[in-house]
Amino acid sequence: MSAIASAPPARTGRVTQLGVLRSEWTKLWTLRSTRWSMLVAFVAMAGLGPLIAAIQMGRWDQLQAHDRFTYDAVNTGVGGWHLAQLAIGVLGVLVISGEYTTGMIRSSLMAAPKRLPVLWAKLGVFAAVTFVVMLVASLISFFGVQAIVTQHHVQRSLGDPGALRTVIGVALFLTVLSVLCVGLGTMLRNTAGGIASFVGLLFVLPGISAILPSSVNDSISPYLPLNAGTTVASHTFDNPHHLSTWGGFAMFCLYAAIAVAGAAVVLLRKDA
């Protein structure tokens, strides 16, 4: 029994935000599901653009003249977000809902009973990792696509107007999406509900809006989360009804902020 106290740890330590951040970093990388989802998001973001570009180049002669003329190699270069957003969103819900479904949240909150530091640390770690991983993937995709489309001389350079902003914008969009989804997961506390609400909010709402009379749809749809969020990730637009690049992104940040505020209130008020 003497072993219990044989080498007592320094009891001087206390809970710090930095300590909780370290803890969340450890938690993120010590689950197989997290590593796999992050890998899927990376491969999707880095690989989908070049794949689409390769297909388009192979069918270049069949494309209409108008499409060839307006071909935007920057948009194709970052096209991977269409798939990566799903992996990031699901992972965002999972990093918190997984704690509730397994009971881990009780350990987390017993170690950091003020609770909000856990939410900030989770958001901080997951958002930072998402940004870095998606930015790297976005750059790989961009250069990969430009190398592929050179054969038809439609390549763009990172120095072209709006190109760099789009490449970084994709990472920004996915990062804020990750924050939004951690917020949803914290509010709903279960995986199925969190994923359903994320999919509903981002992908189902535009579909419902599209059924409405087009005049109504045209005035509503730019404000929907997905359409607002992707302005910063788009170089050129097919649909003329959209918010400005940074205005749309600010709108998306507002959605995420609402979700995080809701998450903070639920975390503080509800029993764990």
| Footprint of another protein (CB under 8 A) | 1, 3-11, 13-16, 19-20, 22-24, 26-27, 30-33, 98-99, 102-107, 109-115, 269, 271-272
Cβ neighbours, 10 Å, residue 74: 25
**Which C-beta is closer to another protein: that of 2 or that of 64?**
2
Shortest distance (Å) from residue 121 CB to another protein: 9
Shortest distance (Å) from residue 234 CB to another protein: 37
CB 220 within 8 A of CB 163: no
What amino acid occupies position 243? L
Distance in angstroms (rounded) separating the CA atoms of residues 63 and 183: 43
**Which C-beta is closer to another protein: that of 5 or that of 65?**
5
Distance in angstroms (rounded) separating the CA atoms of residues 24 and 95: 10
Distance in angstroms (rounded) separating the CA atoms of residues 57 and 149: 7
Shortest distance (Å) from residue 246 CB to another protein: 37
Shortest distance (Å) from residue 10 CB to another protein: 8
**Which C-beta is closer to another protein: that of 24 or that of 72?**
24
**Which C-beta is closer to another protein: that of 9 or that of 161?**
9
Output the six-digit token pair for 80.
Answer: 């991977």
CB 169 within 8 A of CB 79: no
